[in-house]
Amino acid sequence: PALAGVLHRAAQRDGQVLRAGAMSQNPEIASSIRTGGFNSNVHDVGAGSGTPVLMIHGSGPGVSAWANWRQAIPALAGSRRVIAPDMVGFGYTDRPAGIEYSMDTWVRQGLDLLDALGLERVHLVGNSFGGALAMALAIRAPERVQRLVLMGSVGVPFPITEGLDAVWGYQASFENMRSIMDYFAWSRELVTDELAKLRYEASIRPGFQESFSAMFPAPRQRWVDAMTSAEADIRALPHETLIIHGREDKVIPLSNSLTLADWIPNAQLHVFGHCGHWTQIEHNARFNRL
């Protein structure tokens, strides 16, 4: 109830349109904000005096900002304004007919959101697919980013893993969802039939699977390559950057973060042992403190 109240006040504060009754029915649905040619579903929480934090989710089937960050948003919102959008093609953001799902589209959405909220600068946190977007946004508009956090990030060259190929190639069924859940977490305790059922049901909401399957058709190595930023651009990033990875990650290899730690001048790397791709869930309290 306290968090719902914070969310409601944040939406009212910024004059955003809060979808009637949505907060009590589905915590994934928040405020509708115009970003370029479509409306984005955006969680805008907390009112700390420091630089706001923009959090960009990953690209699993049925994912949304709230599903990705639900254990991090309340912890960070106690001291910061936290902004977490559903990137176009995911969650409850509009799915415009004929839109091209590409790095340029997603980066433009992020910048349009900052403009819509009147934010000159943010800290930027990106998870996996979201890490590639965060890095690309920082390269395109470095003045809009203060500090950068990259978690299990795409964005450098690597041969696609079996895990990522399975995740991006997901075809909607409970059995397939249960199978790809095994790639995400190191702890078998997290990968339950109940979780798989919830994620499967999320993946078959109207429009979700259609847009997801349109993003990453086989052969999928080309989409890994399309999300890669140039080495020279990464090496030129001026931002203080925290790089986070799970040692046992089967979706995005740890070598990605070792590369980023080598290339980004002002970087530090934290590797969680006994951890897969879900650092923000498997080591939640430690992740939030870091």
Active site residues: 128, 249, 277
CB 86 within 8 A of CB 92: yes
CB 241 within 8 A of CB 257: no
Query: Which residue spans within the chain are E strands per DSSP?
Result: 17-18, 31-35, 38-45, 53-56, 82-85, 122-127, 145-151, 240-246, 267-272
Structure tokens at 173: 């069924």
The H-or-E segment that residue 186 falls in is: none
- 160, 163, 227, 245, 280 from 250: Cα distances, Å: 11, 6, 19, 11, 16
